[in-house]
Amino acid sequence: MPPTFREDPYGGYNFVVIVNGVSDDGNAVKAGCSEVSGLEIEVTPVEYRNGNEDITVRKIPGLKKFMNITLKRGMTGDLAMWNWIRNAMKGQVLRAQGSIIMHDENHRPVLRWNFTRAWPCKYTGPGYNAANNETAFETVEICHEGLSIDGQA
């Protein structure tokens, strides 16, 4: 799905997360998350200087680094993500492909971020407090080895 262009920016509140092949039956897990963060790529500069040159340091592109994607969602009793994490804790890491799909106001997909070779590397369960009136949230951090946008070469 190539990105859909328009003049006004899209809202950051209509999106869905899909992780392929991590449920018990091998199907994709579609997670309704309240927050997604970590869509970041860094190309670390490598600095060097030849001894016979001016005293200016040169910079060339080094390794690319993909930051972890953090998913925050309300607890629903769906254990598909938990089982993916549990298998990783046992040393049985299942690498998966996934997508974060942004929707427009009519809930039509307009942009898809794809991540590759992903596995859960951190889990944070909900905090409980009997004196508040808040939703119980869990957080899953996913490390991965690639990030792309549909429609881009």
109-124 and 137-143 strand pairing = antiparallel
Chain segment 42-100, per-residue pLDDT in tens: 999 999 988 888 888 999 999 999 999 999 999 888 888 888 999 999 999 999 999 99
Chain segment 1-33, per-residue pLDDT in tens: 666 778 889 888 999 999 998 877 767 777 778
Residue 153 reports pLDDT greater than 70: no
Please give the domain boundaries of the chain with CATH numbers for all domains. Answer: 15-149 (2.30.110.20)
This prediction's pTM: 0.86
Q: What is the pLDDT, as a whole number, of residue 29?
A: 76
Q: What is the pLDDT, as a whole number, of residue 22?
A: 82
Q: What is the pLDDT, as a whole number, of residue 75?
A: 87
Whether the CB-CB separation of 123 and 138 falls below 8 Å is answered with yes
Burial 109-129 (b: 16+ CB within 10 A, else e): bbbbbbbeebbbeebeeeeee
Q: What is the pLDDT, as a whole number, of residue 26?
A: 64
Chain segment 130-148, per-residue pLDDT in tens: 998 999 999 999 999 999 9
